[in-house]
Structure 1
Amino acid sequence: MTEMEYGRQRQLLRVRGRSVAWVPPLLLFVAIVLLDLNTSERFRIITWIVLVPGTAAAICGVWATGAFAALAVVTYVVVDSAWPGEYQAGLGDFVLVALGGLLATVACAVRVRKEKQTLHIQDIAETTRRTVLRPLPPRWGGLEHAGVYLAADVDARVGGDFYDIQPGPHGTRLLVGDVQGKGLAAVETAAALLGTFREAGYHEKEVATVAARLETRMLRHRSHSCALGRDDGDRFATAVLVGFPEDAPDTVEMVNFGHEAPLAVGPHGVRELPSGEGLPLGLGDLVDGLPPVRRVPLAADETLLLVTDGVTEARDRSDDFYPLARDIARALAADEHGAEPRRLVRRIRDGVLRHGGGRLDDDTTVFAVRRIRQAQGEGPEQGRLRS
């Protein structure tokens, strides 16, 4: 990327797509020159022209700042020379203007370099986010879905929340979860679990086997982290594993690893599905066995809603939790299509941000999914392949 290309992309002031960052320093330049020429010798302010490259350094590119610095020096000499000798500012102020322009240009170069580094870091964070939370087609594996992920650390753009859909020969599987803790270690754990889910969710016939593979992967990951000297010995992850069997279109298979209880949202209201009676992933060695696989009804017109604790534990200024179920019920009463995944996710996202005053204390994930209604005479396998 050249300096000019970078400047065009990173200008702070734009009107109709064009940069106008040069306007403020230019207006300041004109104002200083006119005031100095149209006031008496008692109000000589031409030295103030050093503010022009200083202003440009904050909002313009390096070349523009250098041009303003050179213009300031030339203008100082011309304007100061127009006054009689006894009223001229002199060599000392000339050195001030010249040195100020040089320092402003150097400062601008440092600023531009730091902004490039920040952009590079943001690109890395975005690549990491897309690797961990891969983009999903809107209709995938026979499911219509919508999701939103809001990182508590805006600059990081990724955290410990994770979700994915994996179609396979044994039906479509869904995983939503939340790794304990924050930072890169949580991201690494989420990536490890998602990698295992994408393989096991495709190949394994039983949902219980997929759940066992996830627990084993979590234990292996913790063991590896501890061997490297990291303090990850007590890290765990809450999660909900959902299977959509093709032979039972009105039910889902669910394993809840201590996660928030999923909600079924439909025309008849909101109902809570089995909560996380099991322990989180990584803590299965504390009990005898994994959480059970439960078959729960989910009608064709119902949407399965899964959220992380960034939603349910969002607080307002009065320290009250976000009323998730009540907000959804209100939305359904006002909009008969309120259970559609996209509308539902948008409603909850806006509700959480509004409830918390735009502030997020934890990573926040909202994921809604429902089966695609198949045309009459279309088999489940056809519906899955068409999606």
Structure 2
Amino acid sequence: METLRTMILATGLLFLVGEAAAQDAGMKAWVKGKGWGWVWGPQDEVGNLNEMTDASRLAALRLVSQGKAYDLGLPYDRNSFRWPGHSPAEIISFRSPHGVKTQKDLPFTTPEGGNGGGTAWHSNAIFMNDNVATQIDGLGHITHGPDNHFYNGFKADEWGGDFGLRKTDVTTIPPIIARGVMIDVATYKNVEALPGGYEITVADLEGALRAQNVDVTPGSVVLVRTGTARYWGENGSDHAKLAAHDTAGIGLAAAKWLVEQKGALILGSDTSSLEYGPAKPEDSQAYGGSFVPVHVYLLVEQGVHVMEFNNLEGLAADRVYEFAYFLTTNAIRGTVAGTALRPVAMR
């Protein structure tokens, strides 16, 4: 009985410590053991990014002591690797110096119109999916169930349309300035990159954090390194090499641990999906047979945004595990993801 009493007291103490850490970090709605959920009102489109405050952003800035910046974005072009469910891109020269001068459709570009110096320009037309390269999944990206609901109970039939989503598009994602933590699982497992289909477990995350002497605190952006991005090169053109590792990632248990026990603000990785695949049956069946149960849990249930294809190689090379994290999205109304982004980590 005394042992049980001790265990209960210890559990209560851990809960209070977690709650105190959340309060210190300015967390208002996070509950240890539960995470977040649909707690900011029936019209909320922001999710747990509501937890960011002036105080939390200022605390993140205090992590910068050297002024060194790490570009976390991967360069992208029409040949780059992508998840099979996303469309390819085309980047087309829409106006070129040759075209401007031969088309002669704008009088001010001609010598007769006063352009004696021969000034011209380059511009492009871009046709691309809104989920390519370094990206952040908006809360409307994933739908679930026969009613096609997404975060906060919004439904595709009501809030979709011919010109994109009208709820939870990327314009609802505020500028993100937060403490960042990189968990280098590949180095912890002593491999260049985790093999495809490898499930990163809670034990892997705990072991890597211990080895790095860093922890995830409530309100942290968490980036998990599998090593996949080391094979990206100039533009991610080696599809076979990337595909051999791209399906490594966290499972549902690890996602829940990071959100419900550690209070992670965003989860991301250096792969196209964050979660490992294919999902094991118990994870899939937790959401009625979903092929991406971690996405359903994070985006639909918890309002936690997902970051994919982050370039973590510079951080890994310098063994930088804690940093200030900065991200703003391209504010294209109706899109479901911030695409081809360049997040920055600073130490």
TM class by shorter-chain length? under 0.3
Work out which structure has the larger RCO, using CA pairs closer than 8 Å and 6 or more positions apart in sequence. 2
TM-score when normalising by structure 1: 0.20
Larger radius of gyration: 1
Higher relative helix content: 1
